[in-house]
Amino acid sequence: MKAPIAVALDAPNLSVAKEWAKQVSPFVSTLKIGLETYLRDGKDSIQSIREISDCDVFLDLKLHDIPATVAGACKSVLGLNPKYLTVHASGGKDMIKAAAEAIPQTLIVAVTILTSIDEKNLQEIGFKNPANKSAVDLALLAISAGARAIVCSPQEVSEIRRNVPKEIVLITPGVRPLGSNANDQQRIATPEEALTNGADLLVIGRPITSADDVGKAAKLISEEVIQFI
């Protein structure tokens, strides 16, 4: 049984990303490929990683632009057939609708509030409400526009779970096993806390990929996560 973990392949080059993918694939359900890899190594990098792994592909581009531009960007990755593709919920209904219509076979994932942002940062960029309320409002807006998955911090996931249909996939970054370094994440939780609060998929990067033995770290964390499913 694979754990519901999306390993963030934020590697310094494609060779390392592929090696990480190979090592973690027996233990996790999903590989998350972000802007760093996509911009540096291009579309072919996605296909080359897919060829060595049976995991779902989570294309984390966090699109945020006018609706026509986002629709065009989504169409440009149609051939990659990712299971998940991220957009920013703050882009608004029209933008999210355009994304969902442009790539209907992919789950459009609306990112609510980045886990690197704390309450002070949130106020500085103009949000009137605290993170918990703001994340719920953004999630509901995104779902009404066609998003089928939501990214939120583990600290907001329980409230969002109570307010959205059960078929909506809730994805939580900022997940740190006990004893792990928080790094640049602010609103974090353990795998047990995230799953208990309603998360469906956990994004875990550095606790796995910074380990001396990446495969072993993936195995151990996966075993920890499976206990709580």
Encode the chain (229 residues) as per-residue pLDDT tens digits. Answer: 999 999 999 999 999 999 999 999 999 999 999 999 999 999 999 999 999 999 999 999 999 999 999 999 999 999 999 999 999 999 999 999 999 999 999 999 999 998 788 889 888 988 888 888 999 999 999 999 999 999 998 889 999 999 999 999 999 997 867 555 544 444 468 888 889 999 999 999 999 999 999 999 999 999 999 998 8
Taking the domains of the chain in order of start, what are their residue ranges? 3-226
pLDDT of residue 115: 77
Among residues 203, 199, 150, the alpha carbon closest in space to that of 33 is found at 203
Other CB atoms within a 10 A radius of the CB of residue 125 amount to 9
**Alpha helices of 145-203 — where are they, by DSSP H?**
157-163, 191-196
∠ CA 135-137-140 to the nearest 5 degrees? 105
What are the residue numbers of the active site? 62
pTM above 0.85, yes or no: yes
CATH code, 3-226 = 3.20.20.70
User: Which residue, chain included where needed, has tokens 């920890």?
Assistant: 224
What crossing angle do the helices spanning 67-76 and 93-102 adopt, rounded to 10°? 20
Spatial separation of the C-alpha atoms in residues 201 and 3, rounded to whole Å:
9
Strands 201-204 and 169-172 turn out to be: parallel
What pLDDT does residue 186 have?
47
Q: Within a 10 A sphere around the Cβ of 71, how many other Cβ atoms?
A: 20
In this predicted structure, what is the pLDDT of residue 118? 82
